[in-house]
Amino acid sequence: MCRNGCEGWGTSSSVTVLAKTLPGSAWAAGVFKIFPFTNPLAIVALLSLVVGLAMVVLFGYTSDQKAIKVAKDQLKAHLLAVRLFRDQLPVVAGSYAKILRGTGRYLRLAFKPLVYVIIPITGLIVQLDRCLGSRAIQTGTPFLLTVRMDGAREMSGLALELPAEIAMTAPAVHVPAENDVVWRLAASREGDYEINIVAGADSVAKKVRVSSELARVSAVRLRGHFWERLFTSGESALPSGGAIESISINYPERNIEIAGYEINWIVLFFVLSMIAGYLFKELLGIQI
């Protein structure tokens, strides 16, 4: 066991490889099992098509389609009046006032269905980003494990307990200004592992995913910070009274290459799902 991890090299001892995958990964795995491929670009394209259709149908089902159509028609009429009577200031001013009122009415009609659409889509993106936003650690490739301590705690008391498949490749580095301790590690075999960080009498764990395949990862484990954990972490909170504020791993970012350009999957997903939504809107005759 590495009891001198903060000072330099230490000796590693085995800990049990996780019997289960990361929390929620069964859900993600179930989603990806429906695809006969593992290419991120193909997955994003198909998901965008499905989500575009779902957004349009959900919006149409939860909205007052007749009222939205009337509101849009009135806005078009007022905009046309501005163009036709642009030389008549009273008419133009009146049309602009009606446009503002009509826009407010349209937004009021669209607010409820937009909430119904945005909430599930946001949850879907958060979950999918843990699979598509980052790559798992590759065997033989060094990665960093960063532990941020409570400002009032002593950093030199930290120690690591590493699985046999993960080794330390350099002495730990202290960053006093950030209350951080950073280790450089490398894995020799694919799998789901657990690294224990010992701080005095406390011991907490961070899960590590080593795989060459598309895999769900959790880059950080946090103490408190409920909303940040909700969006950035796939693991339970660290103990509230412990010395460690966060434990993070620098999983490499995944970008999707299109025509020689790399683009974040979320940007591509939004663009493609908006295009798909517009096409399905026209095909189904749904007012948005």
In this structure, the answer to whether residues 121 and 188 fall within a common structural domain is: no
pLDDT for position 12: 33
Instruction: Identify whether 172 is part of a domain.
Output: yes
pLDDT of amino acid 182: 94
- Whole-Å CA distances, 271 to 171, 253, 254, 263: 45, 20, 18, 11
Q: Residue 14: inside a domain, yes or no?
A: no
Q: What is the pLDDT of residue 159?
A: 87
For the chain, residues with pLDDT lower than 50 are 1-29
Is residue 233 located within the same domain as residue 143?
Answer: yes
173 and 278 inside one domain? no
The answer on 96 and 237 residing in a single domain is: no
Which pLDDT does position 152 carry in this prediction?
A: 56
Is residue 215 in a domain? yes
If asked whether residues 88 and 156 sit together in one domain, one would say no
241/152 same-domain check: yes
Q: By the 8 A CB rule, do 263 and 271 touch?
A: no
Residue 147 within a domain: yes
Query: Is residue 260 included in any domain, yes or no?
Result: no
Q: What are 192's strand-pairing partners?
A: 209
* 1 inside domain: no
The CATH number that applies at residue 241 is 2.60.40.10
Whether residue 175 is contained in a domain is answered as: yes
Cα distances (Å, whole numbers) of residue 4 to 161, 168, 182, 204, 284: 11, 12, 13, 17, 65
Query: Does some domain include residue 259?
Result: no
Q: Output the pLDDT for position 22.
A: 35
User: Are 231 and 269 within one domain?
Assistant: no
- DSSP code for 179: T
Amino acid 17: pLDDT: 32
Residue pLDDT, tens place only, 274-288: 999 999 999 999 988
- Number of domains within the chain: 2
- Domain boundaries, position 180: 25-31+138-252
